[in-house]
Amino acid sequence: MNEAIVEDVIKKIIDELTGNDSIRPSRDSDITSNSIPVELSARHVHLSEEHINELFGEPLVLEKELSQPGQFLSKQRVRLIGPKNVINNVAVLGPSRPSSQVEISLTDARFLGIEASVGQSGEIEGTPGIIMASTDSIVGLEEGVLVAGRHIHMPTSYAGKFDVRDKEMVSIHLDTERPVIMENVLVRTSDNFKLAMHIDFDEGNGSAWKSGVTGKIIKGCREV
């Protein structure tokens, strides 16, 4: 083992012991290295106030804060009921949204028997519906099921450095054991974002993603 590998192993052990989140480098290291932390987005739902009430009869209860400021995993879970199968224990993310939305992978969609397609979060018009259930209630969604398109959350102040604009589509090279270039990655900028790229489980498994993987923006043949 060379020294760098030993150092890396020791750092990971220390991070684990001290509870440091080694997946996400600090803002400073992000900006100097040009690498973007890549995080896996598991299947989840966003619910409207109305549906939260119908399903749980109480507001969402925070279980864990997520990497994007203000977003959280709630203690509540739902069951997704499709024509072919059921998926239990699906995460409900908060805060509430104007419309309920179910974000699943293409593998999940096939399993459930729903013809979902890739779309950006919030664009639910014309998407298929599904049935959601809690332990004591059930809600039928007429639309809102989608396979979330891969995207990058970027603090607005980083856009210049990365040479991108809000809503720009970029290609990203992932430095995994099975390296890939992912095209059509939507850049979203906001002062409230923390730098991270989000891919789903199908994309993660397809590219041999593991914790700590980063991506780089590719424009043509030029690395930015």
Interface residue list for Zn ion (CB under 5 A): 198
The residue number whose beta carbon is nearest to Zn ion equals 198
Are 217 and 223 contacting, i.e. CB atoms less than 8 angstroms apart?
Answer: yes
In the complex with Zn ion, the residue whose CB is nearer, 109 or 199, is: 199
CB of 68 to Zn ion, least distance (A): 7
Closest to Zn ion by CB, 173 or 188: 188
Question: Please, are residues 154 and 188 in contact by the beta-carbon 8 Å criterion?
Answer: yes
Supply the minimum distance, in Å, between the C-beta of residue 198 and Zn ion: 4
In whole angstroms, what is the distance from residue 172 CA to residue 200 CA? Answer: 15
Q: Which is nearer to Zn ion, 97 or 198 (CB)?
A: 198
Compute how many other C-beta atoms are within 10 angstroms of the C-beta atom of residue 183.
11
Least distance from C-beta 60 to Zn ion, angstroms?
A: 18
* CA separation for the pair 24, 193 (Å, rounded): 13
Task: Give the nearest distance from C-beta 66 to Zn ion in angstroms.
Answer: 9
As a whole number of angstroms, the distance between CA 24 and CA 110 comes to 32
* Closer residue to Zn ion, CB minimum distance, 21 or 50: 21
